[in-house]
Structure 1
């Protein structure tokens, strides 16, 4: 099983649900009031029918019967109108609450530390953003309003039944122990069962995503059988989890349905005995039986939607759990006001798996305005170190400071204003070219956007697009090459204007001549900024002020290009290999 994001506990879910509905007190009060009036209108018919039966026994006229029939028709019509508007208000409230839930979930996801997402993988997050959101949508749209209707109707019907006569109302209580025991048994097991079911589904998604994304590797290494076994195992666990929740329902629902029949039969039997002993009238027995029969529908709906509420509660717990992770441990505060630009790493260690450091005891001071190149073999820890210097990951030990202030302790917006990371992974969002470039500064003018594109040598091909800056790109729009998409990502950085850039092979998808030209353009535009470039192309190192050679999670050499070549160490060997020398 894969590592998954946290899940909120029951107390957090209840607290959040109360908070959501407290934001709309008027709408909630209106919905409850309308449902109450609708339920009251629906209670009139059984009472009137009971009185009519009693009147017929005592002797009555046709006019009385007609009046009762008209009264019943009026109450039924009133109930229909009130129910219509009660449902309308409830569904509107549900849609409003659902919209807020979705917006908050998006904010929570975007605020997640990247390290948290990387540890959990994409499968769990994908399941939460799709399956869990859909399940919660059904709960908020239908289960909550229907539960409110059923609950209000049940309470008022029981009240009306008690008003008919306490003695004829007592037989319906025979179902309470059965319902209480079976529902308690179910509720003690259902939440954990549905959480396990959703978690198993996340594992299925994660495994399939890994297989599809790594299809070429699977084929090259002949891992088909292993991936099939992994998928079969995930599906097997998902099947077992769903079978468990199905078993819970198959026990609970029949038991609950049996309890519906017993009160009706008990009311008729006990009511008959009361009538024969002159302890209740025929009208009371009739009204009580009709009320008990009328209770079946709201109680049945209440229990049916209670199951849906468990599904929704499990989904809400998973959605809330996205932000329930332990906050990234801030580094120990150091003297400084954060206004400086010097980036300093002191004794930095980091591990993805406990006990296996991939970065070991890094000490590095990057001067403001310096161009530092980090080179080394694949898997040496360059990208991890770059993420630590950009504040993506907090160090396991040691500190990374900017201006003397721990980088990980700064608010995310402030952190990105100071230090930004751009990698070889990039994304083109659906929208215009201008929208894509202006993401870090939505208020940027057209002149500023064009200047940013010019800085990364992208203005020429952007102007050549059908609508220039207004050309729609992304899914369904104009297709961009990987190099063009990466130039847009770099243009965003120019517009964001951080004082320190960490470029993790940022020009790797552009051909060498274009990359060389792009780096010269960046060099001219980013004068005075600190640039940390992680690259395999050593011409980047040649142009840098200093070069850091990373091997086995450590900086083994540090200095200017010429000095390192003269030292005839690891860097000199890399440089010779780059130029094809033995």
Structure 2
């Protein structure tokens, strides 16, 4: 069995749902071909059994020939063994198709999430990504699971048709006409089901996004008394989803009923016709048994085709959603590798043209904003989390620098950044690096997070929940700072990094941060006097522009706007 995930999933064809599914088929063509081969052998072998049993009855029992009976019985036994072996191989290949489609889709979606980066929450609801990562991926893998039996069912119907034509042309025509009618009914219901499933999935993702938003902002909603309003909206959207689900279920019930009833009716008609031919001496008893066996057998491939059509409809809808997500582009255009500042990366000066803010090459710069939104916007511009403004580094616009290079040298830490679940040591270790305990221990000390690590059962090996929900806000804040410090970037940008810790811890962090970041550039957006007092220089930003520059004490004495913001923050 091949190991998954594969090292390189490849570049997906996201132009349409059909092209994405075909791309998956090409990428895993070996397991698809193997599944089709064994599926055909398995189903065709089953389709031969009624003919063998019919010959055993007609040539052996009806003619009282023991040798013929033994010969056909042994052939039936060998065919049974082959059916079992082929079935096992078919199932193995089908599961290989499932895992290959699942993992490859997870890989390309995850890779695209990383590519979108900070653009993702601006253009895609969180519920949309959650739906793709669960329901849609399962639907795509379900479609690939049915590929092998689909090929087998088509092959079996063809074999049965040939056998029946060789025995009786009218009955052979009956089989093919009946099959065509059933397939037409399936196609009609599949089209309706496809349309209604698409509407259902769209409503489902909207409801999931709404649930995620309500959960994330429940504390705020309760604070402003808005939980009942959002509750009513959720109930309305939930009822819309229920109605969409009923529409799907209504078509699905007809679809499932047809899969059960239509093949049975078809088998009954074929058996009745065969019986009338026997009465007219146009068929032998053995041929009658063969036709009866095939009438019963045909319910299997026809049901398989119905189930496969249902599964492929779901896979097509889900593939369309995945392809649509993969077509989303980040706000930041790709830039060829090979940054022009490689030789001076550690000492290049970061500037913002809109606000006239210049970040010194070394030292701690404090930035105080009269409007908190200015702090967030300015910090995101400096780190190129948005493509607005005219920030530059070493005189080169950030828009002309490759994002991987920029993310390595300029790191932004915000309080809304996520701590992912898993071992804490893995979460604090910079991506693409081996865990360096000395560096991690130093970062944990500077961020005053030693007590957090010591308080965990397994220290750094402790598995934390996704979002670190088992830790307090202040603990999460310190661990986010430790994670950034461990990366040792040339420029570190912090937005209110100590807003959730006590004054004593805040003073320790400020003092240690200055020593730890000596020789590198650090920008702290804050209104905390404890932090600002340790800054080498402080800038006052009002109405989006730098209006005053100096030390903390100088600005307290000379800038009333600065005094007002700092004292407000200290209250």
Instruction: Please indicate, yes or no, whether the TM-score normalized by the shorter chain is above 0.5.
Output: yes
1:190–1:556 CA distance, 2 compared to 1 (3 A): farther
| Paired residues of 2:414 and 2:496 also in contact (CA < 8 A) | yes
Corresponding residue for 2:3? none
The reply to whether residue 382 of structure 1 matches residue 375 of structure 2 is yes
| Paired residues of 1:178 and 1:255 also in contact (CA < 8 A) | no
Alpha-carbon deviation of 1:507? 1.7
1-structure distance, mates of 2:186, 2:369:
63
1:215–1:447 CA distance, 2 compared to 1 (3 A): closer
2-structure distance, mates of 1:448, 1:11:
45
The reply to whether residue 72 of structure 1 matches residue 72 of structure 2 is no
Superposition pairs for residues 298-313 of structure 1, below 5 Å? 298-313=301-316
The reply to whether residue 342 of structure 1 matches residue 332 of structure 2 is no
The reply to whether residue 373 of structure 1 matches residue 380 of structure 2 is no
Residue range with higher mean Cα deviation, 72-81 or 51-60 = 51-60
CA deviations over 1:352-407 (Å, ceiling 9, x no partner): xxxxxxxxxx4544342254333234553321221121122222xx4333334443
2-structure distance, mates of 1:480, 1:33:
54
Superposition pairs for residues 282-301 of structure 1, below 5 Å? 284=287, 286-301=289-304
1:379–1:482 CA distance, 2 compared to 1 (3 A): closer
1-structure distance, mates of 2:155, 2:433:
48
The reply to whether residue 48 of structure 1 matches residue 52 of structure 2 is yes
CA deviations over 1:475-530 (Å, ceiling 9, x no partner): 39996554344333222222212111110111212212221221221111212322
1-structure distance, mates of 2:58, 2:456:
85
Superposition pairs for residues 102-501 of structure 1, below 5 Å? 102-136=106-140, 138-140=142-144, 142-255=145-258, 259-261=262-264, 263-268=266-271, 284=287, 286-330=289-333, 337-339=340-342, 340=344, 341-347=348-354, 362-369=355-362, 371-377=364-370, 379-395=372-388, 398-408=389-399, 410-425=401-416, 427-440=418-431, 442-459=433-450, 462=453, 468=459, 470-475=460-465, 481-501=472-492
Alpha-carbon deviation of 1:285? 5.7
| Paired residues of 1:195 and 1:314 also in contact (CA < 8 A) | yes
2-structure distance, mates of 1:251, 1:458:
61
SS at match of 1:327: coil
Residue range with higher mean Cα deviation, 223-232 or 374-383 = 374-383
Corresponding residue for 1:352? none
Alpha-carbon deviation of 1:209? 3.0
Corresponding residue for 2:549? 559
1:322–1:415 CA distance, 2 compared to 1 (3 A): farther
CA deviations over 1:84-113 (Å, ceiling 9, x no partner): 232133224423443333344333334332
TM, length-normalised to structure 1: 0.81
Corresponding residue for 2:9? none
For residue 526 of structure 2, the aligned residue among 529, 535, 549 is: 535
Alpha-carbon deviation of 1:448? 2.7
Alpha-carbon deviation of 1:144? 4.2
Give the number of equivalent residue pairs.
553
1:51–1:400 CA distance, 2 compared to 1 (3 A): same
2-structure distance, mates of 1:134, 1:319:
12
SS at match of 1:375: strand
The reply to whether residue 518 of structure 1 matches residue 509 of structure 2 is yes
Alpha-carbon deviation of 1:419? 0.9
SS at match of 1:127: helix
SS at match of 2:311: helix
1:138–1:542 CA distance, 2 compared to 1 (3 A): same
1-structure distance, mates of 2:550, 2:528:
16
SS at match of 1:29: helix
Alpha-carbon deviation of 1:460? 6.6
| Paired residues of 2:41 and 2:152 also in contact (CA < 8 A) | no
1:10–1:342 CA distance, 2 compared to 1 (3 A): closer
Alpha-carbon deviation of 1:54? 5.1
Alpha-carbon deviation of 1:464? 7.2
| Paired residues of 2:193 and 2:251 also in contact (CA < 8 A) | yes
2-structure distance, mates of 1:516, 1:560:
21
CA deviations over 1:200-259 (Å, ceiling 9, x no partner): 222322333333333333334333431221111111111121112122223444455554
1:566–1:406 CA distance, 2 compared to 1 (3 A): same
